[in-house]
Chains A and B, each alone.
Chain A
Amino acid sequence: MKARVTIMPQAAVLDPAGVATAQAIEHLGISGVRSVRIGKSIDLDIEGVTQEQLHQICRDLLSNPVIEDYHLETLS
């Protein structure tokens, strides 16, 4: 089974990489992109891992709850 974790910076947290990318899009000549937020996506290949354990992995290691939110989806 596979699990995909998407981690995004919380709305209130400054994301300087996203801001810089948004500026680059403008320089590309495309307007209308109001903001960019950069997160990361992590795929796990799992066997016999419970949902609870998956959440523990996300909470304690993959994301930092002070600045990030995670979204967990399992793909069969």
Chain B
Amino acid sequence: MRCAVLQFPGSNCDNDALVALRSFQGVTAELVWHQETSLDGFDAIILPGGFSYGDYLRCGAIARFSPIMKALRKAADQGKLILGICNGFQILCEAGFLPGTLIRNRKLLFRCEPVFLRVEEIETPFTSRCAPRQIRLLSKLAAGDEEQEVAARRRGVYKEILDEASTDTTQLFAPAVEFRKKSILRLPIAHGEGCYTADEKTLKELQEHHQILFRYCNEDGEITAAANPNGSMDNIAGICNRQRNIVGLMPHPERACEALLGGIDGRLIFESMLSAASQQV
């Protein structure tokens, strides 16, 4: 499995993405400079966060014209999996890979904090591992009994469900576990322009074709105005294209791949993507 992490002038989450990808078994990940013209041989492509071209003009507007974007279009047409995170999401929208756009946060605040996301669609290459059935099994085992819960974790039941490849037992105690009962992820955001905006027709199409994958919610999974950090329409945090091989989201899964860093929910998105990409090969 070979993954590319595109690197634009001003990308700053490129190495985080690289480290996150390399933590999965059997994955090689490489940086690809924006002046390159080919993405042949890569199974999945990540557009990382940051401030490409200093966010000049509009976020992502100039990156769209980088030479690598032609290769990205080709990869997209071949059905390869493409994940845009934060600034990567903005670039995908500007370049027309995804509908709508991201504008300045309501109230102009740069929001940098963990948020809860409800996974709205499980049957996509990017969310298959977020399925609630795995979570039900987990909660049934634990059944709210603290002692039993700890015992279950020790027995490695959690490990099996959370991350088959993982042998790091510290991850078994991540705060993520409780939230997964309802397919709720806890991921960090860090953006000033993440307010998802589209015209009414586009929004309706997104809903009709089940393209809204992640929505901001409270910790009980309810979609509320208070849980919306940036004013996004419909609390949208992430969407996919109609073919479902391209996803963009504002939260940072690559920053939630180590328990030590506050959570491992990001791993579910990468696991989903990597397992889907390996089936494609």
Is A61 a contact of B61 with CB atoms below 8 Å?
yes
Which one of B58, B61, B62, B108 contacts A20 once the chains associate, using CB atoms below 8 Å? B108
Residue positions of B touching A, CB distance < 8 A = 57-58, 61-62, 65, 94, 100-101, 103-108, 195, 197-199, 231
Contact B195 A14 (CB under 8 A): yes
Instruction: Tell me how far the C-beta of A19 lies from the nearest C-beta in chain B, rounded to whole angstroms.
Output: 9
A14 and B101 contacting across the interface, CB-CB below 8 Å: no
Among residues of A, the one whose C-beta sits closest to the C-beta of B60 is A64
Tell me which of A14, A20, A66 contacts B199 (CB under 8 A): A66
Please determine whether B231 and A64 come into contact, CB atoms closer than 8 angstroms. no
Distance in Å: Cβ of B185 to nearest Cβ of chain A:
27
Are A13 and B57 in contact, with the CB atoms below 8 A? no
Tell me whether B108 and A62 are in contact (CB under 8 A): no
Please state if B103 and A67 are interface contacts (CB–CB under 8 Å).
yes
The distance in angstroms between the C-alpha atoms of A17 and B94, with both chains bound, is 21
B192–chain A nearest beta-carbon distance, Å: 10
Q: Which A residues have a C-beta under 8 Å from some C-beta of B? A: 12-14, 16-17, 20, 61-62, 64, 66-67
In the complex, 12 of the A-B residue pairs with CB atoms within 8 angstroms, ordered by the A residue number, are A12-B199, A14-B195, A16-B104, A16-B105, A16-B106, A17-B104, A61-B62, A62-B57, A64-B58, A64-B94, A66-B101, A67-B197
Contact yes or no, B106 A14, CB < 8 A = yes
Residues of B contacting A20 in the complex (Cβ-Cβ under 8 angstroms): 108
* Contact A66 B107, beta carbon cutoff 8 Å: no
Would A17 and B108 count as touching, CB distance under 8 A?
yes
* Chain B proximity of A45: nearest CB distance (Å): 17
Known contacts A64-B94, A64-B101, A67-B101; A16 and B107 CB within 8 A of each other:
yes
B58 surroundings in chain A (CB, below 8 A): 64
> Which 10 A-B residue pairings sit nearest by Cβ, starting from the closest?
A66-B101, A16-B108, A16-B104, A16-B106, A64-B101, A67-B101, A20-B108, A64-B58, A67-B197, A67-B103
Report the nearest A residue to B109, measured CB to CB.
A16
Docked pose: A17 CA to B108 CA in angstroms: 7
With a CB–CB cut-off of 8 A, which chain B residues contact A17?
104, 108
Q: Are A14 and B231 in contact (CB under 8 A)?
A: yes
Distance (whole angstroms) from the CB of B198 to the closest CB of chain A: 7
Least CB distance from B51 to A in Å reads 17
In the complex the two chains form, is A61's CB within 8 Å of B57's CB?
yes
Chain A residues lying within 8 Å of B94, measured Cβ to Cβ, are: 64
**Shortest CB distance A62–B (Å):** 7
In the complex, what residues of A have CB within 8 A of residue B198's CB? 66
